[in-house]
């Protein structure tokens, strides 16, 4: 492709994860973003007001046409003539769009549909890739730029960027890291591919792993598990759905915890107790020191603050 030409691009994305990528593309003069696709406005939070997706806000701010079809393959839902509205594009970049892209659309761009995925594929195909890397205690993860095909996250890899995980990494912090490093390499990767300077590498299917979408129940703590496992679960479930348990009839979220260095053999599993001004809960193996917790209807508080105001609840068991 000639230097003076720009890459005519459609961007599809919805969640915050896609924001750095869209910014990256918008800030790169080699790209011309002609349209943005994102999910329809939905009510979020306690009010029933419709909320625009983060991507929609960014697109509007930059004066780019926004499409929000309920179903991306149902052209009639967003185009009056039952056709995809823009047929002459070079690439479609999809990041965290929340819908499967059908073959009819994969075939539209001149070069390819390109995806940014939050793991080092073929590891962790699926939507909860970042949670999975923390839950499994990985030392490194990263972002993958790949060509899309009809299956989920199975396309040929163009380029990857790695990052280390800190011992206290949470899904929230890793989410930011990976979305950024992915965005950082996205423009040049797409450009190099379009220019013919990248040879797509098929994934090694023998090394694949697939992760299911995170659901609320994944945040529920099983206190018979090891403190080591629960501590990773707490970091993996930050900030949604959060690691939670039941204190009497109320939900108790565990926002931050450390693995206790001491053992407390006399305590029962799931028992809440205090020792040296620290709040602990006994696990199946080992003990967790609760640093930051939140009771349903209340704000997040430190373990020591909970002890000060709720001495009567010490000794009870979490469920």
Instruction: Judge residue 40's burial from the number of C-beta atoms within 10 Å of its C-beta, 0-12 exposed, 13-18 middle, 19 or more buried.
Output: middle
Inter-residue contact 115 to 182 (CB < 8 Å):
no
- Our finding on whether 110 is near RNA (CB under 7 A) is no
Distance in Å, CB of 161 to RNA, minimum: 30
Which CB, 49 or 151, lies closer to RNA?
49
Stretch that binds RNA, among 2-10, 170-178, 180-188, 305-313 (CB under 7 A): 305-313
The smaller minimum CB distance to RNA, of residues 199 and 277, is found at: 277
User: Among the candidate windows 36-44, 57-65, 264-272, 284-292, which touches RNA by CB under 7 A?
Assistant: 36-44
Residue closer to RNA, measured from CB, 6 or 99: 99
Quick one: the chain helix, strand, coil %, rounded to 5?
25, 30, 45
Sole window of 1-9, 59-67, 107-115, 308-316 interacting with RNA (rule: CB under 7 A): 308-316
Query: In terms of CB distance, is 47 or 81 closer to RNA?
Result: 47
Do the Cβ atoms of 12 and 38 come closer than 8 Å? yes
Which is nearer to RNA, 225 or 295 (by Cβ)?
A: 295
CB of 238 to RNA, least distance (A): 12
Nearer to RNA, 173 or 278 (CB): 278
Task: Tell me if 98 contacts RNA by CB under 7 A.
Answer: no
Interacting positions 176-205 with RNA (CB under 7 A): none
Task: Kindly identify the residues of this chain, within the stretch 47-86, that bind RNA according to CB under 7 A.
Answer: 47-48
What are φ and ψ of residue 122, in 5° steps?
Answer: -85, 10
| Residue of 131, 129, 110 lying closest to 121 (CA atoms) | 129
Cα 15 from Cα 97, distance rounded (Å) = 7
Say if CB 173 and CB 109 are below 8 A apart.
Answer: no
* β-strand partners of 8: 32
DSSP code of residue 115: E
Query: How far apart are the C-alpha atoms of 292 and 256, rounded to whole Å?
Result: 5
Rank residues 11 and 175 by Cβ distance to RNA and give the closer one: 175
> Please, which of residues 243-272 interact with RNA by CB under 7 A?
244, 251, 253
Question: In DSSP terms, which residues pair with 50 in a beta bridge?
Answer: 43
Question: Which range binds RNA by CB under 7 A, 100-108, 116-124, 173-181, 299-307?
Answer: 299-307
Q: Which two tokens stand for residue 185?
A: 């390499």
Phi–psi pair at 56, nearest 5 degrees? -65, -40
Is there a contact between 215 and 225 (Cβ–Cβ < 8 Å)? no
Q: Indicate the angle between helix axes 19-26 and 54-61, nearest 10 degrees.
A: 20
Q: How many residues bind RNA (CB under 7 A)?
A: 31
Question: By rule CB under 7 A, what string of x and - marks binding of each residue 199-238 to RNA?
Answer: -----------------x----------------------
Report the interface residues with RNA, using CB under 7 A. 42-48, 216, 241-242, 244, 251, 253, 276-277, 294-299, 301-302, 304-311
């Amino acid at each position: 492709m000639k230097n003076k030409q720009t890459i005519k691009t459609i961007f599809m994305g919805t969640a915050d994860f896609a924001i750095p990528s869209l910014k990256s593309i918008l800030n790169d003069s080699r790209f011309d973003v002609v349209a943005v696709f994102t999910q329809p406005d939905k009510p979020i939070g306690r009010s029933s007001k419709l909320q625009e997706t983060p991507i929609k806000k960014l697109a509007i701010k930059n004066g780019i046409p926004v499409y929000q079809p309920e179903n991306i393959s149902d052209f009639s839902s967003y185009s009056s003539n039952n056709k995809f509205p823009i047929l002459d594009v070079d690439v479609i970049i999809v990041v965290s769009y929340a819908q499967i892209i059908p073959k009819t659309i994969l075939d539209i761009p001149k070069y390819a549909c390109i995806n940014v995925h939050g793991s080092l594929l073929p590891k962790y195909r699926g939507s909860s890739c970042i949670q999975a890397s923390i839950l499994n205690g990985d030392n490194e993860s990263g972002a993958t730029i790949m060509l899309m095909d009809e299956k989920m996250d199975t396309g040929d890899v163009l380029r990857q960027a790695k990052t280390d995980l800190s011992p206290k990494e949470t899904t929230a912090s890793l989410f930011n890291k990976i979305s950024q490093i992915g965005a950082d390499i996205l423009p040049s990767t797409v450009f190099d591919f379009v220019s013919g300077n990248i040879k797509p590498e098929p994934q090694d299917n023998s090394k694949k792993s697939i992760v299911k979408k995170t659901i609320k129940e994944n945040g529920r703590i099983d206190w018979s598990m090891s403190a080591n496992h629960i501590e990773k679960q707490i970091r993996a479930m930050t900030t949604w759905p959060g690691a939670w348990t039941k204190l009497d009839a109320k939900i108790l979220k565990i926002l931050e915890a450390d693995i206790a260095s001491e053992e407390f053999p006399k305590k029962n599993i799931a028992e809440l107790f205090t020792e040296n001004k620290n709040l602990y809960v006994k696990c199946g193996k080992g003990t967790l020191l609760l640093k930051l917790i939140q009771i349903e209807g209340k704000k997040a508080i430190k373990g020591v603050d909970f002890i000060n105001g709720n001495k009567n609840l010490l000794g009870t068991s979490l469920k």
